[in-house]
């Protein structure tokens, strides 16, 4: 597998067009910060090191990176002030070492690139020999500020001209430079001090480096993207929405390939880091957030919201306008209509009636409630946490089970506030029931024989 010795991720920009004080690379995208997708791209190549160039909101970006898998491979360097992509690599140079191997340059605002695409770019660089470089291009209907790729009369790469420095004729060139490069490390380090800021922006452009390679007689290859969605760079909130949809489609396709029936992908939102078992049916207008775990053969939706920390065991059903947060729904349990389950553990086979609310927040802290196996929580019940509804217990419609009331196993509670009405007889297990029936039959048969 072609890979990189070092990956450099440029993530220092403020993203002024996002119109937010939040660092652009920390905007949420399918349940994680945008830069998390780029870190995954980098780690998939199994590099020796990942260097992230930070700037605006550096402390927040560092903290987010530290919480990600693979954080032990990540080194952050600060670019302040931000004087262009070439300047960012100059700042990163000391962290690269003397022989960084192939250096792959990525961007914290390009989350849709696939690892396979980057492997192809690194393979193209490897094929050129020790001192060749490769850059990624696309033929775009909309340039979006990318530089144009200029070629000589034979079609060989000649240079990249940034849009602000391009003539009208050059701006008409449809092939754009995406700024993603695979450089030979030693040659890159040699070129970095010679980057100039003689341009309309007064910045140090990394595009100078491929031009230097051409002038030195080194080979430069271009790799054109096949999927235009991968070229999405996020500079505005509208671009963020485009990137979200491109990634969402991938997530949904992966689940469907694993045997999950997603009835209407266009209205289904599933974040990164969600597990769904085979045979589960997800109905329209469902939102499943990062960290949710769903077993096999479940039913979710329509109009269901599953939040972080929710676990559905095999065969559980959560339905219309029901929200779950940090809750476990046992095997075969049901919460089908208009309910809120916050910090709740529902036992196997239990039924949560329509309109039930587990009131988990007392204004200061969250508290947990437990519903036992095969309990029946009546419609419109409010359970004030912390609380317990015992196994096989029942609450009447509209009951308010006050804080700490603790409904016992097989008890029936009704009213406001709820009080015990009676205790239901424990239901015998099927095996025990059959045994008692057989004993009765034997006794009855003995009496008949005696009478005869």
Same domain, 46 and 178: yes
Domain boundary, last residue among 231, 261, 277:
231
Whether the pLDDT of residue 444 is over 60: the answer is no
Same domain, 267 and 133: no
Same domain, 219 and 271: no
Question: What's the chain's Rg over C-alpha atoms?
Answer: 31
Is the pTM higher than 0.85? The answer reads yes
- The set of catalytic residues is 337
Same domain, 150 and 193: yes
Whether the pLDDT of residue 424 is over 80: the answer is no
pLDDT band per the 50, 70, 90 thresholds, residue 448: very low
Domain boundary, last residue among 231, 259, 288:
231
Q: How remote is the C-alpha of 228 from its chain's centroid?
A: 21
Domain encompassing residue 125: 6-231
pLDDT in tens, 164-174: 888 989 988 99
Question: Quick one: average pLDDT of 328-334?
Answer: 98
Domain boundary, last residue among 204, 231, 258:
231
Same domain, 255 and 219: no
> How many angstroms separate the Cα of 355 from the Cα of each of 323, 336, 337, 367, 397?
11, 9, 6, 20, 10
Q: Decide: 9 and 38 in contact? Cβ < 8 Å.
A: yes
Determine, yes or no, domain membership for 446.
no
Question: Quick one: average pLDDT of 379-395?
Answer: 98
Whether the pLDDT of residue 447 is over 80: the answer is no
Same domain, 166 and 22: yes
Question: Quick one: average pLDDT of 275-288?
Answer: 98
Q: What is the DSSP string of 377-437?
A: E-TT-EEESSEEE-TT-EE-TT-EE-TT--BPTTEEEETTTTEEEEEPPPPPPHHHHHHHH
**Distance of alpha carbon 1 from alpha carbon 46, whole angstroms:** 10
pLDDT in tens, 32-64: 999 999 999 999 999 999 999 999 999 999 999
Exposed e or buried b per residue across 290-326, where buried means at least 16 C-beta atoms within 10 angstroms of its C-beta: ebbbbbebbbbbbbbbbbebbbbbbbbbbbbbbbbbb
Alpha-helical runs (H) found in 80-217: 85-96, 115-127, 168-171, 185-191, 208-215
Q: Is 379 exposed, middle or buried (0-12, 13-18, 19+ CB in 10 A)?
A: middle
Half-sphere exposure of 161 (CA within 13 A, CB side): 16
pLDDT in tens, 308-324: 999 999 999 999 999 99
Same domain, 140 and 269: no
Same domain, 216 and 276: no
Determine, yes or no, domain membership for 225.
yes
Beta 157-161 vs 147-151: how paired, if at all?
Answer: antiparallel
Q: Decide: 232 and 242 in contact? Cβ < 8 Å.
A: yes
Same domain, 222 and 321: no
Determine, yes or no, domain membership for 445.
no
- Domain at 321, CATH number: 2.160.10.10
Whether the pLDDT of residue 436 is over 90: the answer is no
Quick one: pLDDT at residue 428? 57
- Domain at 158, CATH number: 3.90.550.10
pLDDT band per the 50, 70, 90 thresholds, residue 202: confident
Same domain, 386 and 340: yes
Determine, yes or no, domain membership for 55.
yes
- Looking at every residue in the chain, the average pLDDT score rounds to 92
Q: What is the DSSP string of 37-59?
A: HHHHHHHTT--SEEEEEEBTBHH
Determine, yes or no, domain membership for 437.
no
Return the DSSP state at 26. Answer: G
Same domain, 402 and 261: yes
Determine, yes or no, domain membership for 441.
no
Determine, yes or no, domain membership for 239.
no
Same domain, 211 and 255: no
**Distance of alpha carbon 328 from alpha carbon 358, whole angstroms:** 13
Helix (H, G, I), strand (E, B) or coil at 318: strand
The torsion of the CA quartet 15, 17, 21, 27, rounded to 10 degrees, works out to -70
Determine, yes or no, domain membership for 236.
no
**Tally of structural domains, the chain:** 2
Q: Decide: 175 and 72 in contact? Cβ < 8 Å.
A: no
């Amino acid at each position: 597998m072609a890979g990189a010795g070092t990956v450099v991720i440029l993530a220092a920009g403020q993203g002024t067009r996002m119109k937010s004080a939040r660092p652009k690379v920390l905007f949420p995208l399918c349940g994680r910060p945008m830069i998390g997708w780029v870190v995954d791209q980098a780690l998939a190549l199994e590099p020796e090191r990942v260097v992230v160039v930070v700037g605006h909101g550096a402390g927040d970006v560092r903290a987010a990176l530290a919480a990600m898998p693979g954080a032990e491979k990540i080194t952050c360097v600060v670019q302040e002030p931000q004087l262009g992509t070439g300047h960012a690599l100059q700042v990163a140079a000391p962290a690269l070492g003397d022989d960084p191997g192939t250096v792959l340059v990525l961007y914290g605002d390009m989350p849709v690139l696939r690892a396979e695409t980057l492997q192809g770019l690194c393979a193209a660089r490897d094929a050129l020999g020790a001192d060749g470089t490769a850059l990624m291009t696309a033929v775009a209907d909309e340039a979006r500020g990318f530089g144009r790729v200029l070629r000589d009369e034979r079609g060989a790469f000649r240079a990249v001209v940034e849009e602000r420095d391009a003539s009208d004729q050059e701006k008409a060139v449809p092939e754009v430079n995406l700024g993603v490069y695979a450089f030979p490390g030693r040659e890159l380090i040699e070129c970095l001090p010679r980057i100039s800021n003689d341009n309309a922006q007064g910045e140090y452009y990394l595009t100078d480096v491929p031009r230097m390679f051409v002038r030195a007689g080194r080979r430069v290859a271009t790799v054109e993207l096949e999927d235009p969605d991968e070229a999405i760079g996020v500079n505005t909130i509208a671009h963020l929405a485009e990137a979200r949809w491109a990634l969402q489609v991938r997530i949904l396709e992966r689940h469907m390939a694993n045997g999950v029936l997603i009835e209407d992908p266009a209205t289904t939102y599933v974040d990164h880091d969600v597990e769904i078992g085979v045979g589960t049916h997800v109905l329209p207008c469902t939102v499943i957030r990062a960290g949710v775990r769903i077993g096999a053969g479940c039913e979710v939706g329509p109009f269901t919201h599953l939040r972080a920390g929710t676990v559905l065991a095999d065969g559980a059903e959560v339905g219309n306008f029901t929200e779950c947060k940090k809750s476990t729904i046992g095997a075969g349990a049901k919460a089908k209509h208009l309910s809120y389950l916050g910090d709740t553990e529902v036992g196997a086979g239990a039924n949560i009636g329509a309109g039930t609310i587990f009131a988990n927040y007392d204004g200061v802290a969250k508290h947990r409630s437990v519903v036992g196996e095969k309990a029946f929580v009546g419609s419109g019940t409010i359970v004030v946490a912390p609380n317990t509804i015992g196994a096989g217990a029942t609450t009447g419609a509209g009951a308010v089970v006050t804080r700490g009331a603790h409904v016992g196993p097989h008890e029936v509670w009704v009213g406001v506030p709820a009080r015990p009405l009676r205790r239901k007889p424990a239901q015998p297990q099927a095996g025990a029931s059959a045994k008692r029936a057989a004993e009765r039959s034997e006794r009855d048969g003995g009496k008949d024989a005696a009478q005869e």
